[in-house]
Structure 1
Amino acid sequence: MKIAVLKERSPGETRVAATPETVKKFIALGTQVAVESGAGEHASISDDAFGDAGATTGDLASTVKDADIVLGIQAPDVELLNGAKPGAWVAALFNPFQNGDLVEAYAKAGLEALSMEFMPRITRAQSMDVLSSQSNLAGYKAVLTAADTYGRAFPMMMTAAGTVQAAKCFIMGVGVAGLQAIATARRLGAQVSATDVRSATKEQIESLGAKAIFVTDVEGIEGEGAGGYATEMSDEYKAAQAKLVSEHIAKQDIVITTALIPGRAAPVLITDEQIATMKPGSVIYDLAVAQGGNVEGSKPDDMVERHGVKIMGYANTPAHLAADTSALFARNHFNFLSAFWDKEAGKPELDEEIGDAIRLTKGGEVVSERLKGA
């Protein structure tokens, strides 16, 4: 059983899909691990570090040759996988709803594409969930970046020359990234508030010491779907929520938006009209900018200034913390494969619940039910 780890080639991608820690663990399972030279360079991992852990390092061709499993961050182009075994597994981020041609190419090549972002949100798969591990650090980085861009201090400071008021920070969307953003802004000393369309998050917001901003005087969410995701809101609730958020945003110094919908463009949470009500010098960080953006006018990797407000967002926020995000992503990969490891067969055997959820292609065909229904 050979596991190959390739150097990432997507623009701006600095992470690597394995670390010396996970290489040692894979080798302990009885595998061979091959890492393409330079794969860990941007994550502060040298080829020698991989070699000391037991991996072989070399060029692309030797790394991929006879590989049973290929691990990546972003799914590599099929052309890079020439020499892998027929039916080889490729576990990575495929962004399958937007990259249909890539998925089709994997099917045509006879490769088994395993989309890590399709990992089901179930208890036993938590340690395999790359979206959660990466979003956690993305929420942290978003606050730090906004704080660095903001021209004032975050905490209240009492000085002989007078008092510096604490910054007001508003988090929109309280998933994994939003919760970490709340915690980080609180640690930096800001006055933090947050909102979400899911009423169940109110307790989570308050448990972190932030103020929950919720509509309370009208009927709200009609129901919450599997995993706590919101289903549908009444029109009355939508109008009341928009009014409440507009009034609150006008008083904020920092706003972090985090809302994403799988398979669809990110919802617009802040309009140009709302931006115009904010104080000059305020900062908005749009964590969803790569998926269309939560903020009207936001652009990936580009600082936009509208009405005196700075709007920003990295196209790939986790890549700006490459060492830590790589370590977590690599552990997600190991936790995933090791959970299904068959010692007698010397390879992993996926079960239906998780295997069917993440498998995009097999036997020359696209087999994902989520893609077929899209």
Structure 2
Amino acid sequence: MKIAVVRETRPAERRVALVPEQVAKLIQLGYEVAVEPAAGERALFSDDAYRAAGAEVAWGADHAATVVVSVQPLERERLSRLHAGTALISFLPTNPPDVVRTAWRAKLTTFAMELVPRISRAQSMDALSSQAMVAGYRAAIVAAERLPRFFPLSMTAAGTVPPAQVVVLGAGVAGLQAIATAKRLGAVVKAYDVRAAAAEEIASMGAIPIELELGSLEGAGGYAREMTPERAQLQRDLLTPYIEAADALITTAAVPGRTAPMLVSRAMVERMKPGSIVVDLAAESGGNVEGSVAGTELTIGNALVWGGANVPSQMAGPASRLYGQNIASLIQLMTNGGSFDPDFSDEIVAGCCLTHNGEIRYEPIRELLEGPLA
């Protein structure tokens, strides 16, 4: 039974799907592991480190592999060359569904890491949370680096430097990590989330919950429900004074597979003070901040607006270590007696499986490619 770790080919992707320490653990489970040359180079894991962990380092690692692991999905041409029955584990965006269609026709078994159910038993496999934690940390560091003033309070003989005022919108995994990091750097942090339970989590991080008295929008899977346009506008109106007073604004509200909610209008950003910084982690999925552009820094009014693009990859080493542990835990769940043997009656396995044995198992994609179920 062979696991292949491929080298990521997208220019901005620096992560790797498994790091050497996880390779060693999988070998102990009975697998052989093959790694493509320089697969971990951009995350600072050398080929020699993989060899020392027991892996083979060679091109074409995916040939005759039982399981192929990656961060981003393989290119369609490469998918079509794999043997039927090969299992693929990666992030596997389903819109557009071209990659899934190719895998389906090639009779490959595909598991999408973003579809791992968010239940307690699957916490060690939850790649969305692990990568969001990295992104949240990075967001606070970006804000501190680009803000032309101190984050912490400094009392000196020459006078007192007041702390930076930071506002975080969204208190999921990324938002809470941004809050915690900004607090560790010494800022005064206020935060808002539409879920009522989030206020307690915000306070537990040492931040001040922003209370707008709008009621909760708690939804399934820990995500917020979509709000009406009228409520969204009222929320923006009530948030405006908090954002106007902020030195740094970090926005983190995103739901996989959906356009990010627009929480902050251009007019709101234009009211921020000179030198302010806005970090929009949701820029790739439409943006929480009107006018933000993924992978771009631009100026709106007096504020610098930083649009996030593949933010976890900007900290490729720790992001890879966390993601690799998610992958290794999922493989371990699907290992039986030293063989890769997924149990499709398990809700975790079934929940993240897109295709298997020529069948599309994920209903939204099945409806898109085959039509609604009878």
Give the TM-score of the pair, scaled to structure 1: 0.94
Q: 1:127 aligns with which of 124, 128, 132?
A: 124
Question: Is 1:247 the counterpart of 2:229 in the alignment?
Answer: no
- Which SS does the other structure have where 2:71 is aligned? strand
- Indicate if the aligned counterparts of 2:191 and 2:209 stay in contact, CA closer than 8 A: yes
Question: Compared with structure 1, are the counterparts of its residues 82 and 225 closer, same or farther at alpha carbon in structure 2 (3 Å cutoff)?
Answer: closer
| Equivalence map 1:123-272=2 (5 Å) | 123-216=120-213, 220-221=215-216, 224-231=218-225, 238-272=232-266
* Rounded Cα–Cα distance in structure 2 between residues aligned with 1:240 and 1:277: 17
Report percent identity of matched pairs.
Answer: 43
Amino acid at match of 1:226: A
CA shift in 2, pair 1:32/1:235, >3 Å: closer
Are 2:143 and 2:277, in contact at CA under 8 Å, matched by a contact in 1? yes
Q: 1:347 aligns with which of 337, 340, 343?
A: 340
Q: Within 1, Cα distance between the matches of 2:352 and 2:74?
A: 17
Q: Is the CA contact (8 Å cut-off) linking 1:19 and 1:330 kept in structure 2?
A: yes
Q: Which amino acid aligns with 1:259?
A: A
Determine if the alignment matches structure 1 residue 68 to structure 2 residue 66.
yes
Conservation of the 8 A alpha-carbon contact between 1:65 and 1:82: no
Aligned residue in 2 for 1:331: 325
1:301 maps to what in 2? 295
Contact 2:80 2:102 in 1 (8 A): no
Residue 79 of structure 1 is matched in structure 2 by 77
Unaligned runs of at least 5 residues, structure 2: 369-374
Q: Give 1:14's aligned residue.
A: 14
CA contact (8 A) 1:12 1:316 kept: yes
Displacement after TM superposition at 1:157 (Å): 0.7
Deviates more, 1:100-109 or 1:76-85: 76-85
CA distance in 2, matches of 1:252, 1:29: 51
Shift of 1:234: 7.0
CA contact (8 A) 1:281 1:310 kept: yes
Show the counterpart of 1:277: 271
Shift of 1:205: 0.6
Provide the C-alpha distance between the structure 2 equivalents of 1:75 and 1:34, rounded to a whole number of angstroms: 18
Q: Could you state the TM-score of these two structures normalised by the residue count of structure 2?
A: 0.94
RMSD: 1.7
| Cα deviation, residue 240, structure 1 | 4.2
> What are the Cα deviations for residues 294-331 of structure 1, in whole angstroms up to 9, with x where unaligned?
11111111111010100002311101111101001000
- Count of residues in correspondence between the two structures: 367
